[in-house]
Amino acid sequence: MNPTFHMSLPCLSIEETIKFYTDELGFSVGRTTNEWVDINLFNNQLTFVLVDQFKFDYPKYQFENHALPTFHFGIIVSSDIWEEMYDRVNYWLSDHSVKKTFLKDKHGEHVSFFIKDPNGYTLELKTFIEDDEMFMM
C-alpha cells in the first residue's frame, strides 16, 4: 500500500459537501452516514463530520505578496491532472479560480489554484514544475 493521508474536518452540510466534491470536482464518496462522509481525494481519505458551527480566527498569511488562507488543505498532482482539474473548476464553479505561480525561477517553483468548498474550507491544487523539488528550497 502506498502511503496516503487521512484528514477529518467539520462540515455544515453532508449533502452540500457531497455535491461539491462529487458533482463539481468529480471525486467519489466512500463510506457515509448521516453524520459524516469519506471523500476519495486522489486515493486519500478526506472525512467530513457534521457540526453546527466552527470558525478560524487567523484567516490569512502573506507569501510572495499574496494573501493566502492560513487554514487550507491541498493535494499535489501531475501537471496533466492539475490542468484537467483547473479546467473543470473554471467550468463548473461561478467563482473562477486564478492560477498562481510561486517561487518563480527558484527551487520549488509550483503553480496552484485555490477554491472554497461549501463549508468554507480552502482546497489548494498544486503542481510542481520539477517533481523532485517538492521539499527543496
Q: What is the pLDDT of residues 33-50, one digit of tens each?
A: 899 899 999 989 898 999
Element (H, E) at 115: strand 110-116
Residue 1 domain-assigned (yes or no): no
Give me the CATH number covering residue 10.
Answer: 3.10.180.10
Q: What is the pLDDT of residues 48-98, one digit of tens each?
A: 999 888 777 667 777 888 887 777 888 889 999 999 999 998 887 766 677
Residue type present at position 121: Y
Provide the number of structural domains found in the chain: 1
Three-class DSSP category at 96: coil
Q: The pTM is what? A: 0.74
Domain that holds residue 80: 6-133
